[in-house]
Amino acid sequence: MKIIFDEEKKVFLIHTNSTTYGIAIVDGKYVAHMYYGKYLDERDLRYLLREDEAPLVPSVNLREKGAFLDCAAFEYPETGMGDYRESAFCVRSQDGHRASELVYTGYEIMEGKPALEGLPSVWGKKEECATLKIFCLDRLLGIKATLLYSVMEDSDAVIRSVFVENQGKESVYLEKVLSACLDMDDRNFQVLGLFGSWARERHIQRMPLGYGRQNIASLKGESSHQEHPFMALVTPGTTQETGEVYGMNFVYSGNFIAQAEKSQFDSVRMTMGIHPEGFTWKLEPGEHFTAPEVVMVYSDQGLGKMTRTYHDLYRQHLIRSPYLHKKRPILINNWEATYFDFDEKKLLEIAKEASELGIEMLVMDDGWFGKRNLDDSSLGDWFVNEEKIKGGLNNLVENVKKLGMKFGIWVEPEMISPESELYRKHPDWAIQIPGRETTQSRAQYVLDFSRQEVVDGVYEMIAEVLRSADISYVKWDMNRQLATMGSSALPADRQGELYHRYVLGVYRMQERLIRDFPDILLENCSGGGARFDPGMLYYSPQIWCSDDTDAIERLAIQEGTALVYPVSAMGAHVSVCPNHSVGRVTPFETRGDVALLGTFGYELDITKLTEEEKTLVKVQVEKYHKYNDLIREGDYYRLASAAENRYYDSWMIVEKDKSKALLFYVQVLSRANVKSRFLRLAGLDPDKRYQVDGKEYSGRTLMQAGLRITPEMGDFRSRTIEISMCQ
Ligand code: DGJ
């Protein structure tokens, strides 16, 4: 890790262990992009700017400044001056103009990495990070923009954000403040993104990048089920091991846009940031605005290397929870077991049976508060329903503890039911536009988390519940998207700040929760996996991945999620069959194996399992204890994708020192008259010998010739195979 400035050539080089990012100052004022890719030890990269090619730089050919602006590669392009590609920055002045020119004024290279005020961000010790700050100024408006680039000693990521200050005399309106822009020559790139829906989150899709703009975005007020704040540009034919990959992932949980644009000159501009639609931010003189971070990862060894770079960075420098490197208690959640139809007796029956099988925590899901017996009331009434939980919460928790189990609870702090005491008391706390029908979704409104008194009011109610009993875990849910955006606390010219202020309010409350209750294990959730993003990971070490708990549907969901996020963060449970989302019947063993690639737990009425299934629960519990350290901390290698090949799925987790690995293989569909398959493993030491099923092979053999996998009768069969280095 090193950041260098060549004073004479006016060139910045940002090096990680195996990548280089190059920036140059052109004509003393433009911040131009030179290079991003594999590590280069060459210091003179200025030729990459093509300064001697038409239309030449403005100091030589002022006549063609527009042509220069529209074809050169920039770090942070603004609107309105002649670069007609997607801009990263747009500001409206008091007199209504939208042009700005951020001119280079200086730089600072510092040790460490600054935290971003009110926002989740990558962190690290001072000596393990370095940051480049490039200062730019729009002289007419007095708007200063600081472009931040941070790198870490042990990572190949480049982390970017932007800090904007109004040093002028008049207030301005920020209309777009993206966090990162990357201009490159096209290499026949393809766009890879994660797409889906409720119960079908984060399926990988790859598409060719043609001329024009292709974007991935959310305007739902959260990162969303449908599109995901991640985009990669990959060279054609990129596999897990080969090909070039440029990944961008947004450390943010609200509206976003990620875009790739191919221009007339076959250059590609990749951008990411807060979606400008529905966004304006008034900046008074002296005020500042911070754009959330984008984590950029370049890999010259395919998707696998990119994945492992993200996993390691997030496990070492993003997730803060004290539980991150610990085995989490195996939980049983009552949602799919009972939905709203439960009482304390039913919960205790589940807990009793579960504790006998080695399950360690009972999680009481939705329906324990107010008058909630369906999803049509009581959000906001955060006090226990004693008709359901007779004897009260503390009594229930103590009884669960007597069984040797911990206790966890579900909440949905951001929401308010029109049918609730809270709404009757504070109707103005809901996000709404006066005179317009407020959009309901799942019979609920959204609380105006841009207002501190709303966040404080809800926080106090929930904190009271958490203080009232020995609660070890909280599942924070969020079950609808935002709409009819209006805040009674914001003036007309600040209504465009609501989406972002809402997200900041959520972050403030999560921050407070983990500060006041440091021992509580927090799991985020949003109607399944609609807010599985790095922003939320900063606060919680795990996130519920999807409401679809079917093991086969989960293969694609978990494959897409694990493309970017550590498997230790993926909430995954064994549930009952026929599965409640798809009606599929899968072997109990397969459900266990798929859930092992995650936080692992159960979500079924355990009192109704057969004796054979109960025995299998014990086996799975043992397997979890045996392998969780490896799965949580190891390196993840994707070997095969059923989403691509239809028939089989496979992945491996390899211990960092390569001494041990666990191979997962799922035969999705059985086929007649087929031979065995040689599955090429990955991540092992080629020169060491390994034991597999009582036989010895070299790592090289297993990776080049492959391990023989024989077909089985029946669909949806899974196998886990231990691979250990010979002593
Ligand atoms: C959506 C979550 O994803 C489910 O697990 C469950 O908690 C329900 N909400 C409860 O309303």
Catalytic residue, from 477, 533, 548, 649: name it: 477
Query: Using CB atoms within 10 A of its CB, is residue 392 exposed (0-12), middle (13-18) or buried (19+)?
Result: middle
The residue-averaged pLDDT of 275-293 equals 98
In which region does residue 498 sit, left (phi positive, over 0), alpha (psi from -120 to 50) or beta (all else)? Answer: alpha
Q: Give me the chain's average pLDDT, please.
A: 98
State the closest ligand 1 atom to the C-alpha of 333, by its place in the atom list counted from 1.
5
156 labelled catalytic: no
The response to whether 477 counts as a known ligand-binding position is: yes
266 labelled catalytic: no
Phi, psi for 11 (deg, rounded to 5):
-130, 135
Q: From CA 204, how far away is CA 189, in angstroms rounded? A: 16
Q: From CA 546, how far away is CA 532, in angstroms rounded? A: 9
Residue whose Cα lies nearest atom 2 of ligand 1: it is: 527
Picking from 466, 465, 462, the residue whose alpha carbon sits closest to that of residue 517 is 466
- Ligand 1 near 487 CB (within 6 A): no
Examine residue 55 and say whether the peptide bond preceding it is cis (omega within 30 degrees of 0). yes
What is the b/e burial string over 488-521, where b = at least 16 CB atoms within 10 angstroms of the residue's CB?
eebeeebbbbbbbbbbbbbbbbbeebbeebeebb
Contacting residues for 674 by C-beta, under 8 A, at least 6 apart: 711
Q: From CA 120, how far away is CA 290, in angstroms rounded? A: 11
Could you tell me the distance, in angstroms and rounded to a whole number, from the CA of residue 199 to the centre of ligand 1? 11
Could you tell me the distance, in angstroms and rounded to a whole number, from the CA of residue 522 to the centre of ligand 1? 15
Could you tell me the distance, in angstroms and rounded to a whole number, from the CA of residue 344 to the centre of ligand 1? 19
Which structure tokens are listed for 664? 């997962």
**Can you give the pLDDT at residue 375?**
97
Q: Which CA distances in Å does 419 have to 425, 583, 720?
A: 11, 33, 49
Which of 336, 414, 474, 544 most suits a substitution to test ligand 1, by most atoms within 8 Å of the C-beta?
544
The residue-averaged pLDDT of 127-143 equals 98
- Ligand 1 near 535 CB (within 6 A): no
Picking from 221, 186, 126, the residue whose alpha carbon sits closest to that of residue 485 is 221
Q: What share of the chain is helix, strand, coil (3-state, %, to 5)?
A: 25, 35, 45
- Ligand 1 near 304 CB (within 6 A): no
Q: Where are the beta strands (DSSP E) in 383-436?
A: 406-411, 415-416
Q: From CA 482, how far away is CA 84, in angstroms rounded? A: 31
**Can you give the pLDDT at residue 601?**
98
Amino acid at 52: D
Report pLDDT digits (tens) over 57-106.
Answer: 999 999 999 999 999 999 999 999 999 999 999 999 999 999 999 999 99
Is residue 43 scored above 90 in pLDDT?
Answer: no
Picking from 657, 455, 640, the residue whose alpha carbon sits closest to that of residue 559 is 640
- Ligand 1 near 273 CB (within 6 A): no
Q: From CA 166, how far away is CA 141, in angstroms rounded? A: 8
Q: Which CA distances in Å does 543 have to 201, 383, 408, 537?
A: 13, 25, 15, 7
Report pLDDT digits (tens) over 190-227.
Answer: 999 999 999 999 999 999 999 999 999 999 999 999 99
Instruction: Identify the bridge partners of residue 601 per DSSP, sorted by sequence position.
Output: 331
Which pLDDT band holds residue 632 (cuts at 50, 70, 90)?
very high
Instruction: Identify the bridge partners of residue 267 per DSSP, sorted by sequence position.
Output: 185
Query: Using CB atoms within 10 A of its CB, is residue 613 exposed (0-12), middle (13-18) or buried (19+)?
Result: middle
**Can you give the pLDDT at residue 39?**
98
The response to whether 545 counts as a known ligand-binding position is: no
Catalytic residue, from 547, 550, 635, 715: name it: 547
Q: From CA 262, how far away is CA 208, in angstroms rounded? A: 11
- Ligand 1 near 417 CB (within 6 A): no
Query: Using CB atoms within 10 A of its CB, is residue 700 exposed (0-12), middle (13-18) or buried (19+)?
Result: middle
Phi, psi for 22 (deg, rounded to 5):
-120, 135
Instruction: Identify the bridge partners of residue 652 per DSSP, sorted by sequence position.
Output: 637, 663
State the closest ligand 1 atom to the C-alpha of 365, by its place in the atom list counted from 1.
7
